[in-house]
């Protein structure tokens, strides 16, 4: 898989911003099929940083209803990537 296929988008929320500030951890939405090693390589390649650790968690699909139609919110995996101390990713910077 290509690095850009593995990393779908950054997750920018209050919680994820707090992780950036306090622990230099960056959260991304990643492809469910990717493993930690692939994520590590992809992040290193895309953002030119050194990754120390990757944690992945799978979010379950959730039932959603739009009017009378029922469906699901797509399943995804979240990867929380810990970077080496002086490394930064620009899109998160605040």
Partner 1 sequence: MAKVETLSNSRVKLTIDVSADLFEKGLDYAFDKIKDDVEIKGFRKGKVTRKVYEQHKGVENLYEEALNYCLQETYTEAIMANDLQVVSQPKIDLDVQNVKKGESFTYTATVAVKPDVKLGEYKNLEFEKPSNDVTEEEVIAEITKLREQNAELIVKEDGEVEQGDTAVFDFEGFIDGEAFEGGKAENHELEIGSGQFIPGFEDKMIGMKAGEEKDIEVKFPEDYQAENLKGKDAVFKVKLHEIKIKEVPELTDDFVKDLDKEGIETVEALKKDTRENLEKQKTEANKNKAIDFAVDSASKNAEMDIADEMIVEEKNRMMDNTKRQAQQYGLDIDTYLQLTGMDKEQFESKLMQDAEKSIRYNLTIEAISKEEGIDAEEEEIESKYKELAEQHNMEMEQLRTQVNPDAVKQEVVFKKTIDFLVDSLQTK
Binding residues for partner 1, rule: CB under 8 A, are 11-14, 16-17, 93-94
First CA to last CA distance, the chain: 31
Smallest distance from partner 1 to CB 17, Å: 7
Phi, psi of 92 (to 5 degrees): -95, -20
Smallest distance from partner 1 to CB 16, Å: 8
Three-state DSSP state, 94: coil
Nearer to partner 1, 11 or 30 (CB): 11
Separation CA 6–CA 62 (nearest Å): 22
Nearer to partner 1, 16 or 38 (CB): 16
């Amino acid at each position: 898989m290509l690095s850009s296929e593995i990393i779908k988008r950054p997750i920018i929320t209050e919680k994820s911003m707090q992780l950036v500030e306090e622990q230099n951890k960056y959260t991304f939405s990643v492809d469910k099929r990717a493993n930690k090693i692939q994520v590590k390589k992809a992040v290193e390649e895309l953002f030119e940083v050194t990754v120390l650790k990757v944690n992945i968690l799978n979010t379950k699909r959730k039932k959603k209803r739009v009017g009378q139609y029922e469906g699901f919110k797509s399943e995804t995996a979240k990867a929380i990537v810990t970077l080496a101390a002086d490394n930064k990713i620009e899109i998160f910077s605040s």
